[in-house]
Structure 1
């Protein structure tokens, strides 16, 4: 065994502890035991393995602290311990290290980030997400010239994200994910000066104030997720300046006002996920606004050989980080570990939009998810929605829509979820294709609708049978 240089036993059913005999394998440079059922502590004998470059024990049941020796291994380039039950604080790191990838996501680590991380001058990916770490924003990491991915999500980092003395530069930063922490105060990303930033996720904090216009300087931004904060601003039309923006999530803030002043000359050339649900937006859904969503007008090429995920063009991101998104799809909150560029979503639910559902919405031909629920929309459902041939989820519930359900909607053969509940719709429900699969829940709260799957029968097409006096009394009782 002392002559073994490469060891890969990943994705098996190995049990028990990592054997201490590893310390005798002086030539070992690659060790991968990920995705097993290993338990116990990581042996400190690893410190004697002077040639070890790659160590991956992720997705096991390892417990106890991370041995200090792992911070002193001069040849170690990649250390992946994510998805275990490791606890305690992170080890200190020595100057003589070659560490490029440090991933400890999904453990029970606590305390602060060790300041000795600034000695890891080769570090490109730092992922400490999903732990119990408690610290302020680590401005001092700007000293790492190659840091491309910084993930602090789902910890208890706190305080303002604002450096009081000067602006901070992260020259190589591609991904900043600090979502689901306890950052507070006015939102400011002026300190970043990270012109290479591609993915910014700061949702699930207590950030307030206006959206900083300095974001417009980050020309490479593809993903901006600011959801579930307390940001108080009008719709950020100026984000149209970002030529590569594909995902914009403003859900659960205090954005307000009408969305009418849109530069339709440029529009959003690549935006295919727009989630502005649960804010205070009002007014009508203007044709100008819909016209600005240029990427949603174009049906993507679904040839499997051409399917792409956001961020996969970056080699580092592709290997160690994958952009994800959480949206409401098909009536439930869905987490996508990878985001296909053909996933197209338009969610303006839980606002105060009024007026008619604009028939011009049919120009957004690539939509998979359309959610206009919980507003004050009125008038009829436009039959032109049948142009949305790829639509999988349509939610128009909790509005003031009236008239009949357009029979043309039966041509939407990819539609899996339909919610028209709690409106003022009337007449017979279409009886073909996907409409034969929807349950009562799709239509509840529309007393003038009739036909299968409802128990109310229609005495002729489009007209509900008048209720008898006795049944009317029963309805009043219920």
Structure 2
């Protein structure tokens, strides 16, 4: 089928290897293989399909390294999440200036996140979580100003979060949890008005939460447990945001619980245990109709529970 442009095989029970003869389909633009049981290495002959725009092989059992490459890359969507791919992120991806979605979630990738990611100025999704990536987060990611979804969690990344992330003014989801990140979390990131979910737990972040955090009108989930955040929780938190989950367990927050933290009436999880909070429990918490989990243990709270 040498004239084939689109091949959609996803969500079946196809097994075995992807045949090397796929490279004969040189006019192919879309190749969807996701949610099958394909295995073995992805054939190097894929390199012959120079006009390929979409390659999605999510949720198979592909193994080995990415041996194919595109010199004049036309890829817009390249997703290999939930496979057993190993090796480093291939350098030829630096040629993919049209790339919009890049996903390698839950593989065995190693090495560093390459700086050339920042050349993909059209990138909206960058999903690299659950691998074995090491080193620093490249500040060049801040050049991807259309980025909406950034997942770097569950790797072995170290160092600080680049200040350049504040340039990501369309960012909705920021997942950095379960790494070895440390230092001050840039306050400027908290001013990104599109933020919905910020998951930073199990790192070594320090610093205070700025009052501008309380102005985010789309924020639903902020999970910061097992870090070293300090200072007072912004007292207007919960007034403007449709918060569903707040988990600040095991930090060093002081002061009182924000009085209107459940004013959005959507809060399901409030976990502020193992901090240094004082004062009484606000009535907005005790009257919160949506609350499913409330953990305030190991603080210095006082007063009555009405």
TM range (shorter): 0.7 to 0.9
* Residue 268 in structure 1 maps to residue 216 in structure 2: yes
* Residue 374 in structure 1 maps to residue 274 in structure 2: yes
Q: Which runs of 5+ in 2 are unaligned?
A: none
Any conservation in 1 of the 2:71–2:95 contact (CA below 8 Å)? yes
Which residue is 2:53 aligned to? 77
Which residue is 2:178 aligned to? 228
**In structure 2, which of residues 115, 133, 136 is the aligned counterpart of residue 182 of structure 1?**
133
* Residue 196 in structure 1 maps to residue 196 in structure 2: no
Distance 1:295 1:224, change over 3 A: farther
Task: Compare the two structures and name the one with the higher strand fraction.
Answer: 2
**In structure 1, which of residues 272, 276, 290 is the aligned counterpart of residue 235 of structure 2?**
290
Task: Tell me the distance in 1 between the aligned counterparts of 2:22 and 2:288.
Answer: 58
Any conservation in 1 of the 2:101–2:124 contact (CA below 8 Å)? no
Which residue is 1:461 aligned to? none
* Residue 86 in structure 1 maps to residue 66 in structure 2: no
Task: Tell me the distance in 1 between the aligned counterparts of 2:13 and 2:248.
Answer: 44
Q: Secondary structure at the match of 1:134?
A: strand
Q: Secondary structure at the match of 2:211?
A: coil
Q: Secondary structure at the match of 2:215?
A: coil
User: How far off is 1:364 after superposition?
Assistant: 4.8
Any conservation in 2 of the 1:178–1:201 contact (CA below 8 Å)? yes
Q: Any residues of structure 2 matched to 1:53-452 within 5 Å, and which?
A: 53-95=29-71, 98-118=74-94, 122-140=98-116, 169-180=119-130, 181-185=132-136, 189=139, 192-234=142-184, 236-256=186-206, 259=209, 262-263=211-212, 267-285=215-233, 289-296=234-241, 344-354=244-254, 357-377=257-277, 381-399=281-299, 405-406=305-306
User: How far off is 1:399 after superposition?
Assistant: 4.2
Superposed CA deviations along residues 220-276 of structure 1, whole A, max 9, x for unmatched, are 2222233233444456443343222222223223334565x6258x83333222222
Task: Tell me the distance in 2 between the aligned counterparts of 1:352 and 1:96.
Answer: 51
Q: Give RMSD over aligned pairs.
A: 3.4
User: How far off is 1:175 after superposition?
Assistant: 2.9
More moved, 204-213 vs 74-83: 204-213
Superposed CA deviations along residues 108-161 of structure 1, whole A, max 9, x for unmatched, are 22234444445555543333332223333333455xxxxxxxxxxxxxxxxxxx
Instruction: Give the paired residue count.
Output: 305
Q: Which runs of 5+ in 1 are unaligned?
A: 1-24, 143-168, 299-342, 407-478
Q: Secondary structure at the match of 1:216?
A: helix
Select the structure of larger CA radius of gyration: 1
Distance 1:174 1:133, change over 3 A: same
User: How far off is 1:291 after superposition?
Assistant: 0.8
TM norm structure 2: 0.80
Superposed CA deviations along residues 184-241 of structure 1, whole A, max 9, x for unmatched, are 35x5525643333333333334445554333323322222233233444456443343
- Which structure would you say has the larger RCO, counting Cα contacts within 8 Å and 6 or more residues apart? 2
Task: Tell me the distance in 2 between the aligned counterparts of 1:190 and 1:140.
Answer: 7
Any conservation in 1 of the 2:104–2:129 contact (CA below 8 Å)? no
Distance 1:56 1:229, change over 3 A: closer
Which residue is 1:165 aligned to? none
